[in-house]
Structure 1
Amino acid sequence: MKRNIINAKNAPQPRGGYAQAVKLENFEKLLFISGQIPTTADDALPDGFPAQARQVWLNVDAQLKAAGMSKADIVKVTTYLADRHHTLENREIRSEYLGSLAPAMTVVIAGIFDTAWLLEVEVIAAQ
């Protein structure tokens, strides 16, 4: 698969850890991961935003592995935050997981299905 990061010079530049666009060519697999919630497989909910955010990324990773893929295959991330006050913590924890990978990204402040959940993350991956 060929992946090109696109950040048009005549549009706003990304502000940390993402690309304005990701162009894919010659991919064989395309995976759409539904919004991953911050609970464990046995339905336990971690306390606090950092623990919930890390759990969400563990859940994303589990879906990727089940599909024979890895975080290196992520091309798009959409994050739903229950409160904008978690923006910086979210960015830091997402960066811990993604490292230097720069997928296309959107963050939305939204009411989440369960008010105890502080975030939800959906991902598109390709190989």
Structure 2
Amino acid sequence: MTQRDAVFPANRHALYEAHGYSAAIRSGDLLFVSGQVGSRADGTPEPDFAAQVRRAFSNLEATLAAAGCSFDDIVDVTTFHTNPENQFETIMMVKNEIFPRPPYPNWTAVGVNWLAGFDFEIKVIARIPDRESRRNGSDQSG
């Protein structure tokens, strides 16, 4: 049976402790990242929507880094939006900065009516690069 290992970013924020969940779980060569929101270190939402989306990606980046991953290792994305029609343009602007060129990860966007005070959440699955790939700075898979 594959071992499950909890992964937390260096500056673990209050939500993980308050709600009893792991930032990510490493299982084999996959990393399953819990939904990341645009929370400040104390767990409160970033009030400006664009800043909240950027902070969600920043929190995601910190969690990926804690497992030796980067945005390039993401294979599947699910995002949750409280007002997709009005938020789409802002989200696409940030998304295009993070993923500027193909190959893009799979992406599913879901409209929801509640995110515990937040307006955007992103969860991903990433492939953890092997040590040789990290050392060489490249992905050996094809």
Q: Does 1:91 align with 2:70?
A: no
- How far did residue 94 of structure 1 move? 1.3
Partner of 1:106: 108
Identity %: 33
2:101 counterpart letter in structure 1: S
Partner of 1:82: 82
Partner of 1:15: none
How far apart are the structure 2 equivalents of 1:49 and 1:98? 19
TM-score by length of 1: 0.72
Q: Which has the higher helix share?
A: 2
Confirm or deny: 8 A CA contact 2:34 2:124 kept in the other structure: yes
How far apart are the structure 1 equivalents of 2:38 and 2:79? 12
How far apart are the structure 1 equivalents of 2:96 and 2:121? 16
- How far did residue 43 of structure 1 move? 2.1
Gaps of 5+ in 1: 1-27
Which structure 1 residue ranges, 4+ long, deviate > 6 Å from structure 2? none
CA-atom RMSD, angstroms? 1.4
Partner of 1:34: 34
Judge which range, 28-37 or 54-63, deviates more.
28-37
Mapping of residues 58-73 of structure 1, within 5 Å? 58-73=58-73
Partner of 2:133: none
Confirm or deny: 8 A CA contact 1:74 1:125 kept in the other structure: yes
Q: How many residues align?
A: 99
Confirm or deny: 8 A CA contact 1:82 1:111 kept in the other structure: yes
How far apart are the structure 2 equivalents of 1:99 and 1:67? 23
1:86 counterpart letter in structure 2: Q
